[in-house]
């Protein structure tokens, strides 16, 4: 199963592509950070993110997309941009007809470190170990995106298969 | 100038299409509310909104898109969905190569009623009067979207023309 994980953000959006099966060490295919400038026009920033993610989906042909869920308790100014980026991330999957799953930050941390309250350094360390990388992926946004993909693989993608059927049905009915 | 105004929302997204020039009464071309169910999967909700807005842009061929800006001081649960819907709304314009402008709720209210703190009933009443409609548009989400389009027309679209050039340049460079 090849999964494209996305850690949504408007200024930096992490993308990690991992191939694997539940319960086995996976393989890192690629990772990437899509960037835009905070002072740039919002329409241009969203368009850049949309195109970049569409290109990565086309390039890597994942079977599903996993996106970190956004919560409103974070910094109020940042959270609006993160919510907007998460919409673009989810659409990058569903527009391509792929199942999309969202995971909370603590689900992702628990999946890779065993603790839902692990810090960024721990997540990066475990991603590096689990995928047997020579060096930790940089920047940390990329490590988080890779962790999201690992989390999805280990969950076995059950929900994803149910949702894939619903998306396929929605696409057929809108033609 | 034909403008497609969008009042972003995940459960109800208002869309109003108005044709006009600054300082003159405009003409209402169409209005619409795109709906989705709160208990539905987020990927399917965003996909439905994305497709519906793309169809309305194709159908009405607006010269620009105007979207109400989202603020984080609203209800925390609702605001995440509204922010996600606003990203889809902005992309509906920029993906089609159209200039997209955002306006704050008080800019929109001030443009149609003269007061930035007008209530929904006042906005609906002024939209009905300004466009010489036989009856107020319903539901109120549609009236707000129409007000956003009127606000954009009356602002003269100066910023929109500058941004259109930037979007055109971004599209050329990504080919």
Q: What is the mean pLDDT of residues A31-44?
A: 96
Q: Give the pLDDT score at B160.
A: 60
Q: Give the pLDDT score at A81.
A: 92
Q: Is the pLDDT of residue A25 over 90?
A: no
Instruction: Render pLDDT for A76-112 as a digit per residue (tens, 0 to 9).
Output: 667 889 999 999 999 999 999 999 999 999 999 999 9
Q: Give the pLDDT score at B22.
A: 85
User: How close A166 comes to chain B (CA, Å)?
Assistant: 8
Listing DSSP states for chain A in one string gives -EEEEEE--SSEEEEEEEE--TTS--EEEEEEEEE--TTS-HHHHHHHHHHHHHHHHHHH--SEEEEEPP-TTS-HHHHHHHHHHHHHHHHHHHTTT--EEEE-HHHHHHHHHS-TT--HHHHHHHHHHHTT-SS--SSHHHHHHHHHHHHHHHTTTHHHHHHHHHHHHHHHHT-
B141 in active site: yes
Q: Which residues of chain B have pLDDT under 50?
A: none
Give the count of beta carbons closer than 10 Å to the beta carbon of residue B165: 10
Q: Which of A4, A37, A40, A41 to mutate to test the interface with B (most CBs of B within 10 A)?
A: A41
Q: Is the pLDDT of residue A157 over 70?
A: no
Q: Which of A10, A87, A152 to mutate to test the interface with B (most CBs of B within 10 A)?
A: A87
Residues of chain A contacting residue B88, judged by C-beta atoms under 8 Å apart: 87, 91
User: Which helix (H) or strand (E) covers residue B72, if one does?
Assistant: none
Q: Give the pLDDT score at B157.
A: 60
Q: Give the pLDDT score at B45.
A: 97
Q: Which domains does chain A have, with CATH numbers?
A: 2-173 (3.30.420.10)
What are φ and ψ of residue B79, in 5° steps? Answer: -65, -30
Q: Is the pLDDT of residue A41 over 70?
A: yes
Residue of A nearest to B169 (CA): A44
Residues of chain B contacting residue A163, judged by C-beta atoms under 8 Å apart: 41, 43-44
User: Among candidates A96, A11, A94, A89, which has minimal Cα distance to A53?
Assistant: A89
Give the C-alpha separation, B122 to B146, whole Å: 13
B68 in active site: yes
Q: What is the mean pLDDT of residues A49-59?
A: 98
51-110 of B, contacting A, C-beta below 8 A: 51, 70-73, 76-77, 79-80, 83-88, 90-91, 93-95, 99-100, 102
Catalytic residues of A: 7, 68, 141
Q: pLDDT-derived band of residue A75, with 50, 70 and 90 as boundaries? A: low
Residue pairs between chains A and B whose CB atoms are closer than 8 Å: 100
B51·A163 Cβ contact <8 A:
no
B83·A85 Cβ contact <8 A:
no
Give Cα B21 to chain centroid, integer Å. 17
Q: Give the pLDDT score at A23.
A: 78
Q: Give the pLDDT score at A55.
A: 98
List strand residue ranges (DSSP E) for chain B, in order: 2-7, 12-19, 27-35, 64-68, 100-103
Interface predicted TM-score (ipTM): 0.86
Residues of chain B contacting residue A48, judged by C-beta atoms under 8 Å apart: 170
Residues of chain B contacting residue A167, judged by C-beta atoms under 8 Å apart: 43-44, 47
Q: Give the pLDDT score at B73.
A: 64
Q: Give the pLDDT score at A140.
A: 77
CB A66 within 8 A of CB A6: yes
Alpha-carbon distances, residue A4 vs A28, A145, B17, B75 (angstroms): 10, 8, 37, 32
What are φ and ψ of residue B69, in 5° steps? Answer: -75, 145
Q: Is the pLDDT of residue A149 over 90?
A: yes
B87·A84 Cβ contact <8 A:
yes
Residues of chain B contacting residue A103, judged by C-beta atoms under 8 Å apart: none
Give me the catalytic one of B68, B107, B134, B144: B68
Residue of A nearest to B89 (CA): A43
Q: Is the pLDDT of residue A62 over 70?
A: yes
Sheet containing strand A27-35, edge to edge, reads A27-35, A12-19, A2-7, A64-68, A100-103
What are φ and ψ of residue B102, in 5° steps? Answer: -110, 145
Give the C-alpha separation, B139 to B152, whole Å: 21
User: How close A99 comes to chain B (CA, Å)?
Assistant: 8
């Amino acid at each position: 199963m090849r999964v494209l994980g996305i850690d949504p953000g408007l200024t930096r959006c992490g993308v990690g592509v991992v191939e694997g099966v539940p319960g086995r060490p996976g393989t890192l295919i690629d990772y990437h950070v899509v960037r835009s400038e905070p002072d740039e026009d919002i329409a241009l920033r969203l368009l850049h993110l949309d195109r970049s993610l569409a290109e990565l989906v086309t390039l890597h042909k994942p079977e599903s997309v996993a996106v970190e869920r956004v919560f409103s308790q974070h910094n109020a100014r940042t959270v609006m941009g993160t919510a907007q980026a998460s919409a673009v991330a989810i659409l990058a999957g569903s527009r391509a007809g792929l199942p999309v799953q969202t995971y909370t930050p603590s689900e992702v941390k628990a999946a890779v470190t065993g603790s839902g309250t692990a810090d960024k350094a721990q997540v990066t360390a475990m991603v590096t170990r689990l995928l047997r990388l020579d060096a930790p992926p940089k920047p940390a946004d990329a490590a988080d995106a890779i962790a999201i993909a690992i989390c999805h693989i280990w969950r076995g993608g059950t929900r994803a298969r149910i949702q894939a059927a619903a998306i396929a049905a929605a696409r057929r009915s809108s033609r």
